[in-house]
A and B are shown apart, each in its own frame.
Chain A
Amino acid sequence: MGMTMTQKILAAHAGLDKVEAGQLIEANLDLVLGNDITSPVAIKEMEKMKVDGVFDKDKIALVPDHFVPNKDIKSAEHCKCVREFAYRNKITNYFEVGEMGIEHALLPEKGLTVAGDVIIGADSHTCTYGALGAFSTGVGSTDMAAGMATGKAWFKVPSAIKFNLTGKPSEWVSGKDVILHIIGMIGVDGALYKSMEFVGEGVANLTMDDRFTIANMAIEAGGKNGIFPVDELAAAYMKEHSDKPYTVYEADADAVYEEEYTIDLSTLRPTIAFPHLPENTKTIDEIKEDIVIDQVVIGSCTNGRIDDMRIAAKVLQGRHIAKGIRCIVIPATQAVYLQAMEEGLLKIFVEAGAVVSTPTCGPCLGGYMGILAQGERCVSTTNRNFVGRMGHVESEIYLASPAVAAASAVAGKISCPCRLD
């Protein structure tokens, strides 16, 4: 019986020739990540451990991104706690405001996550790095503390679901539509405790940014991780961004999958998740009624990369956001921001009537920078539309791609570029 991609990476990091689903292992970690919300709790827990500092100052990444630039005094205290811990322990990869970005966009860009790595992060969207062929998964603060102290974490080896992707997505269909389609199909606990392995000739038709978006939302199906094979595009991305050596793992031909799905990307349509679960999906064609909105957010660890900015700008160029709609664009990192500026995208956003923010998770989790009032509706390229996620418990979030979000901002209701004049 063979192993999946994920099982092979875990076996190698546990010093074992073979692992099987359900087995409990202890694995060596290549990177431990935390942000300004989860790290203060982890730091407090680590201080209770009888250890002498961190296991490796080069293998920890601390990224204040949720409530920065500091939104209030308490947040400032949290960030100060993280900053002081980073300096005290000489953490190489601490990213201050001005050099930071939303963690899951930032780390691949900085070359800190590569194929074959085992990565834990005290943030549920840590699963993003599976786009590069790494095993990466979200944990809580105490796991992060133990990871920083010992360089190890325990895992139950997951079983897997295989998604065989074929075909090429049509215009205005992106990675976001692929993952929303999948979550709509299997549900928010459809991959609970499992790996989601994305394979097939259709992968070649997805950009790296598409793959980051897909892996990023594996958690929204309950998945432990999402992972892609390493092809030429992924290898080129790592070559461009990283000096770290990497290892490519491929699933065995006789690897066992609990379920298998085949998805023809050419048949997918722009897909929107209705309140209040990411599984409540409809294609744009299924939406017959006018869903009038108040706000649009384009950004986040899911959709704040350069491809996303380009698609949004393509839709907004020469158009204007509807009267009364607030459109907030948040490039995910300083590098994305700079590139968007150099390509003239920020000018397009501002001329269209959008605001452009410094990188922050801000509105995605109802932190700040775009909180919703009672009864308000938002089309957002973020990842969760739970009750109260972006503000008032009686507000509504519709999850969508940057193309749909930008078109909706122009139309003042849920729309897609194909429906604009």
Chain B
Amino acid sequence: MKAAKGTVFKYGDNVDTDVIIPARYLNSSDPAELALHCMEDIDKDFIHRVAKGDIIVATKNFGCGSSREHAPIAIKAAGVSCVIAETFARIFYRNAINIGLPIVECPEAAREIDAGDTVEVNFDTGVITDVTKGTTYQGQAFPEFMQQIIDAEGLVNYINGR
């Protein structure tokens, strides 16, 4: 079973890729360096508090704005195991799948889960469990084609495996 479990960092609507990784750091494309500034313009403490496996939960239109793949790269390199949102901006959605950052669309979970909750995500079934609250939610399943890219852990491996 592929799964993620961690503590939740919670954000609101329209978290844009500029606040996820500000352009002043885009003169680097090194994941470790980008991770140091992940979420810097929305949550200065994020990078000091995040632990490997933690989960980001946000409401509508997560990852809107610039197409910079540096945004999901920074989130993944910061140790985040999954992003749950009501909706994702479309380029961020593609980018996350293409680089193998697990994301789940689930409006109910995104609205109800609070910061600091312990949450578990089963990627095989799409079931999200808020361990703290004792609630479960069914995340939206990916179309089979996208699931194949996710299973290959990204588009590069998927293309190489074809």
Do residues A124 and B27 form an inter-chain contact, with CB atoms below 8 A? no
Q: B5 to chain A: closest CB distance in Å?
A: 27
* Bound-state Cα–Cα, A366 to B60, Å: 25
> Chain B, 16-45, contact with A by CB distance < 8 Å: what is the 0/1 string?
101100111011110000000000011000
* Bound-state Cα–Cα, A222 to B64, Å: 7
Do residues A142 and B19 form an inter-chain contact, with CB atoms below 8 A? no
* Bound-state Cα–Cα, A149 to B91, Å: 20
- In this complex, the interface size class of chain B, counting residues with CB under 8 Å from chain A, is 35 or more
* Bound-state Cα–Cα, A50 to B160, Å: 6
> Chain A, 20-54, contact with B by CB distance < 8 Å: what is the 0/1 string?
00001000000000000110110011001110000
Set B22, B69, B73, B155: member contacting A388, Cβ < 8 A: B22
Interface residues of B in 59-75 (CB under 8 A from A): 60-61, 64-70, 72-73
* Bound-state Cα–Cα, A222 to B23, Å: 20
Q: B123 to chain A: closest CB distance in Å?
A: 20
Do residues B67 and A38 form an inter-chain contact, with CB atoms below 8 A? yes
Cβ contacts under 8 Å, A11 to chain B: none
Cβ contacts under 8 Å, A139 to chain B: 67, 91, 94-95
Set A41, A141, A150, A154: member contacting B145, Cβ < 8 A: A154
Minimum CB distance partner of B22 in chain A: A388
Known: A67-B27, A139-B91. A124 touches B22 (CB 8 A): no
B87 at the interface (CB under 8 A from A): yes
Q: A366, A384, A386 — which one has the most chain B CB atoms within 10 A of its CB?
A: A386
Do residues B143 and A277 form an inter-chain contact, with CB atoms below 8 A? no
Cβ contacts under 8 Å, B143 to chain A: 24, 156
Do residues A138 and B23 form an inter-chain contact, with CB atoms below 8 A? no
Q: B52 to chain A: closest CB distance in Å?
A: 23
Do residues A75 and B27 form an inter-chain contact, with CB atoms below 8 A? yes
B159 at the interface (CB under 8 A from A): yes
Known: A50-B160, A75-B27, A78-B27. A142 touches B99 (CB 8 A): yes
Q: A124, A139, A367 — which one has the most chain B CB atoms within 10 A of its CB?
A: A124
Do residues B42 and A277 form an inter-chain contact, with CB atoms below 8 A? no
Q: A273 to chain B: closest CB distance in Å?
A: 13
Known: A24-B143, A50-B160, A386-B19. A41 touches B70 (CB 8 A): yes
- A–B complex contacts, Cβ < 8 Å, 19 sampled: A37-B70, A38-B69, A41-B29, A48-B160, A50-B160, A67-B27, A78-B27, A123-B66, A140-B67, A141-B95, A142-B99, A188-B14, A189-B61, A189-B64, A192-B89, A367-B23, A384-B66, A387-B42, A388-B19
List residues of A whose CB falls within 8 A of some B CB: 24, 37-38, 40-41, 44-45, 48-50, 66-67, 71-72, 74-75, 78, 122-124, 126, 138-143, 145-146, 149-150, 154, 156, 188-189, 192-193, 219, 222, 224, 277, 365-367, 384, 386-389, 393
